[in-house]
Structure 1
């Protein structure tokens, strides 16, 4: 991956990741974005963060949001979303991504879920921002674990626990979503997906987008790129990762990865494997 040019068109735009070695399933993210527009992507983890300056516009679960400074952003696992600047100066923000099973284990509560994707409140955003900054700078596992405990204490009143609720009936398109996730490297035909939902191909395409707010191809690419992140974090080569997730080659992985995460696979891998 040496020699890969900068991805962001604006030199002020930057992003960096960090993973915690003692807590697989937790990822930290910091960025300043002014011109870049992120294509639909997923983290398959809870995403919790703050807008520290500027404003972000993002689409989540079919709704368009604008998050100004001192906003909290709370995203549930497996929800595709976009991201772009809502002002000339862009937006600076921090996020933490926590996989659902680990969230249950660390908090002792089962079924975390955020009903609201955004909340603008200085009294909550400022301490959350301080916790996230401290997590980046912490020099011991105990310090990071203590900070995570503070983060959960802060966020707990904003979440609901769904363990006691009856499971929702599965939608016909859930089978399609599960099929896409399970067949990342396989050729996917529209007719096959439509058959899973018992619809004609064109009726399926329209109804699928109405339900998920993305096309089947966008969803498939989001799942492919999320899986690529996991494999890169384990130290696998970009060429091997590209083949595993069904992309044409390493160059295809580089383009697609940067469009979703704003960073090349090589840079991402170096950042998360530093610790």
Structure 2
């Protein structure tokens, strides 16, 4: 099931996220305690029994409250796969992603169904077909439930800022300077940084680092050694890559790669 990842955190006090975004659509369950959930500029307090919904590329962060214990399960679904699921279910008029306005779900039925699905995914003794079927069944039902809750899209960034974001994505492995971005856009440094954050939720530098980590995750999924992944994504050394990766992903590259290997082993055992 290469289109999804599942992360289990049993002690959220040890995990602190910087604001970041994912290319995937994410659905998480708070399984113990409570925490703060920052999404699209709004802060929510979420407690055990709450589901959180994060659209692709929405800047967010979830962190402990005054070192109080909390735990969660987070499912990351590849956006093209979920888009196809929604389209084939008749929930989209065209196979293009549409954001969902719901940020938190407090209905116990959906929480219970989520826990049942994730327990199945983490059980090495369950068959692959059973896992795939449960995921499709649950997500199709949830997408139908949320079908009329399309989010108001973020105001489309002006063309120059779209081009700057694309430039940062295309050159994320390079040492891009603010002077270069100003030369490309014609904007002053102060205006460029303020306006970029307004449109994308991150400064140009934070956006570039976020792109590097996303690329790093893809490199590790392809089986690249950590040192090679660090070099190919633009980090000066492996330790810098590891620190930044943990700050945004809440796992070291080694832990992330090992979790992917464990998923592959469980899938093979299930077959």
> Aligning the two structures, in what range does the TM-score lie when normalised by the shorter sequence?
0.7 to 0.9
Q: Quote the RMSD (CA, aligned, Å).
A: 2.4
Instruction: Answer yes or no: is 1:178 the counterpart of 2:157.
Output: no
- Residues 1:127 and 1:253: Cα distance change in structure 2 (over 3 Å): same
The CA deviation string for residues 115-134 of structure 1, in whole angstroms up to 9 with x for no partner, is 12222222321221221221
* Structure 1 counterpart of 2:109: 123
| Whole-angstrom CA distance in 2 between matches of 1:175 and 1:160 | 32
Aligned-pair CA distance for 1:88: 4.3
Pick which of 211-220 and 84-93 moved more: 84-93
Q: Any gaps of 5 or more consecutive residues in structure 1? A: 1-22
| Whole-angstrom CA distance in 1 between matches of 2:225 and 2:200 | 32
* Structure 2 counterpart of 1:15: none
Residues 181-220 of structure 1: pairs in structure 2 closer than 5 A: 181-220=169-208
Whichever structure has more helix as a proportion of its residues is 2
Instruction: Answer yes or no: is 1:31 the counterpart of 2:9.
Output: yes
After TM superposition, the score normalised by the length of structure 1 is 0.83
Aligned-pair CA distance for 1:259: 1.1
| Whole-angstrom CA distance in 2 between matches of 1:171 and 1:140 | 48
- Residues 1:255 and 1:88: Cα distance change in structure 2 (over 3 Å): closer
SS in 2 for 1:39: coil
Aligned-pair CA distance for 1:112: 4.3
Contact 2:155 2:199 in 1 (8 A): no
Contact 2:117 2:134 in 1 (8 A): yes
Aligned-pair CA distance for 1:46: 0.3
Pick which of 116-125 and 39-48 moved more: 116-125
Question: How many residues of Structure 1 are paired with residues of Structure 2 in the alignment?
Answer: 251
Whichever structure has more strand as a proportion of its residues is 1
Contact 2:7 2:73 in 1 (8 A): yes
Pick which of 44-53 and 27-36 moved more: 27-36
Question: Which of these residues, 116, 134, 143, is aligned with residue 147 of structure 1?
Answer: 134
| Whole-angstrom CA distance in 2 between matches of 1:271 and 1:35 | 18
Question: Which of these residues, 36, 47, 57, is aligned with residue 26 of structure 2?
Answer: 47
Contact 2:99 2:153 in 1 (8 A): no
* Structure 2 counterpart of 1:95: 74
Contact 1:56 1:86 in 2 (8 A): yes
Contact 2:100 2:146 in 1 (8 A): yes
Pick which of 234-243 and 52-61 moved more: 52-61
SS in 1 for 2:217: helix
SS in 2 for 1:176: helix
* Structure 2 counterpart of 1:16: none
Residues 1-275 of structure 1: pairs in structure 2 closer than 5 A: 23-32=1-10, 33-86=12-65, 88-107=67-86, 108-109=88-89, 110=95, 111-137=97-123, 139-156=126-143, 157-160=145-148, 170-172=157-159, 173-274=161-262, 275=264
Pick which of 45-54 and 59-68 moved more: 59-68
| Whole-angstrom CA distance in 2 between matches of 1:51 and 1:154 | 20
| Greater relative CO, 1 or 2 (CA 8 Å, sep 6+) | 1
| Whole-angstrom CA distance in 1 between matches of 2:82 and 2:52 | 17
Q: Any gaps of 5 or more consecutive residues in structure 2? A: 90-94, 265-271
Aligned-pair CA distance for 1:198: 3.9
| Whole-angstrom CA distance in 2 between matches of 1:169 and 1:206 | 16
